[in-house]
């Protein structure tokens, strides 16, 4: 029955679809977080987000199968530092989720949501998430407010709108997928990749890059994480940019690369699903 299929598909999408969330805010005020400007959306300082990402990405670089053969060949100071860290840590993490557990103290993964008809959700699978931790990243192509996104946005429930109007298309299928791969290949600086395309697959090498599948909270399941915008600083190590799941749509964008992370609002234990609230701008 095509009609039933469309209805079920909508029920899976609606928990992430921005217009549906906005229309239902009056029914559930607890899903709403009010901010007056972008600088006021910070639950934790940007420096803490940076250190979390660096810690995980360095662990990923040490893990088996990591794409750093060319990097070892050029003997950068960074990789000499990584080799020293490997000895201190007692060897390589077994896989990307073990690298996450080893470096951050927890791991996350996609599973069927506990929300009725919500489709896929994101769960803490191992370890313990303390309040204020960076739990996930929202991957995708970054569009400035003046850039075209009409075709990519059609029937697309994964477009995230930042406070300043910047959009992030976190769809891992269709034209959105093709655009991201094209932009990622364009920005490569040999031998370094400037972004990670593996989030477009079922097995992202950066285990944080599943934030687009975090469902919005409800009265029954209150938010335990919130969105926080983060601009990647120019000093971010070039060797670690291969794990960033975001890329600018335009090559000549002058602004720093925009990322969105999800930060824990409270302590979260293994087995819990992540639920986000949504902010609204108060002028």
State yes or no: pLDDT of 30 exceeds 80. Answer: no
**What is the three-state SS of the chain?**
CHHHHHHHHHHHHCCCCHHHHHHCHHHCHHHEEEECCHHHHCCCCHHHHHHHHHHHHHHHHHCCCCCCHHHHHCCCHHHHHHHHHHHHHCCCCCCHHHHHHHHHCEEEEEEECCCCCCCEEEEEEEEEECCCCEEEEECEEEECCCCCCHHHHCCCCCEEECCCCCEEECCCCHHHHHHHHHHHHHCCECCECCCCCHHHCCCCCCCCCCHHHCEECCCCCCCCEEEEEEECCCCCCHHHHHHCCEEECCCCCCCCCEEEEEEECCCEECCCECEECEEEECC
Stretch 175-200: mean pLDDT: 94
pLDDT over 60 (residue 102):
yes
Cβ(43)–Cβ(263) below 8 Å: yes
Tell me which residue has tokens 């896989």: 95
pLDDT (0 to 100) of residue 10: 47
pLDDT for the residue numbered 70:
47
Question: 174: phi > 0 → left, psi -120 to 50 → alpha, else beta; which?
Answer: left
How would you classify residue 80: left for phi > 0, otherwise alpha for psi between -120 and 50, otherwise beta? alpha
- CATH code matching the domain that covers 32-59+97-282, chosen among 2.170.270.10, 2.30.30.100, 3.40.190.80, 3.30.450.20: 2.170.270.10
Q: Are strands 32-35 and 246-248 parallel, antiparallel or unpaired?
A: unpaired
Average pLDDT over residues 1-9: 51
Domain locations in the chain? 32-59+97-282
Q: Give the phi and the psi of residue 222 in degrees, each rounded to 5.
A: -70, 160
The band of 153, judged by pLDDT with boundaries at 50, 70 and 90, is confident
Single out the residue of 113, 104, 126 nearest to residue 54, CA to CA.
104
Residue 120's nearest CA partner among 155, 153, 151, 158 is: 158
CA angle 149, 155, 161 (to 5 degrees): 50
Average pLDDT, the chain: 82
- 5-9, 80-84, 179-183: range with highest mean pLDDT: 179-183
**Quick check: 124 pLDDT over 50?**
yes
Nearest to 198 by CA among 108, 78, 92, 67: 67
The pTM (predicted TM-score) of the whole model is 0.80
Whose CA is closest to 137, among 104, 113, 165?
Answer: 104
Mean pLDDT to the nearest integer, 15-23 = 45
Q: Is the pLDDT of residue 279 over 70?
A: no
Tell me the torsion sign for CA atoms 254, 249, 109, 263. positive
Better pLDDT: 133 or 29: 133
Tell me what pLDDT residue 155 has.
84
Among 17-21, 149-153, 201-205, 210-214, whose mean pLDDT is lowest? Answer: 17-21
Least trusted range by pLDDT, from 52-61, 92-101, 106-115? 92-101
Flag whether pLDDT at 231 surpasses 80: yes
Going from the C-alpha of 74 to that of each of 41, 67, 255, the distances in angstroms are 40, 14, 30
> For 168-172, 181-185, 206-210, 277-281, which range has the lowest pLDDT when averaged over its residues?
277-281
Specify the pLDDT at position 73: 43
pLDDT of residue 280: 55
């Amino acid at each position: 029955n095509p009609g039933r299929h469309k209805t079920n598909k909508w029920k899976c999408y609606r928990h992430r679809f921005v217009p549906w969330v906005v229309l239902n805010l009056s029914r559930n005020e607890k899903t709403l977080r009010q901010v007056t400007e972008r600088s006021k959306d910070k639950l934790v300082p940007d420096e803490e987000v940076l250190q979390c990402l660096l810690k995980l990405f360095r662990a990923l670089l040490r893990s088996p199968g990591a794409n750093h053969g060319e990097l070892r060949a050029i003997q950068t100071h960074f990789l000499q530092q990584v080799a020293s860290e490997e000895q201190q840590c007692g060897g390589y993490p077994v896989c990307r989720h073990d690298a996450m557990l080893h470096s951050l103290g927890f791991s996350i993964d996609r599973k069927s949501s506990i929300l009725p008809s919500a489709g896929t959700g994101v769960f803490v699978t191992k370890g313990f998430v303390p309040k204020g931790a960076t739990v996930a990243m929202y991957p995708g192509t970054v569009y400035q407010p003046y850039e075209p996104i009409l075709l990519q946005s059609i029937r697309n429930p994964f477009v995230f709108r930042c406070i300043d109007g910047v959009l992030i298309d976190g769809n891992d299928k269709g034209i959105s997928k093709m655009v991201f791969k094209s932009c990622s290949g364009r920005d490569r600086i040999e031998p370094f990749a400037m972004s990670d395309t593996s989030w477009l697959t079922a097995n992202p090498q950066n285990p944080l890059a599943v934030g687009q599948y975090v469902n919005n909270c409800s009265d029954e399941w209150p938010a335990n994480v919130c969105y926080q915008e983060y601009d990647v600083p120019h000093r971010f190590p070039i060797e670690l940019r291969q794990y960033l799941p975001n890329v600018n749509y335009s090559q000549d964008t002058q602004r720093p690369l925009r990322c969105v992370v999800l930060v824990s609002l409270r302590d979260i234990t293994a087995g819990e699903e992540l639920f986000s609230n949504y902010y609204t701008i108060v002028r």
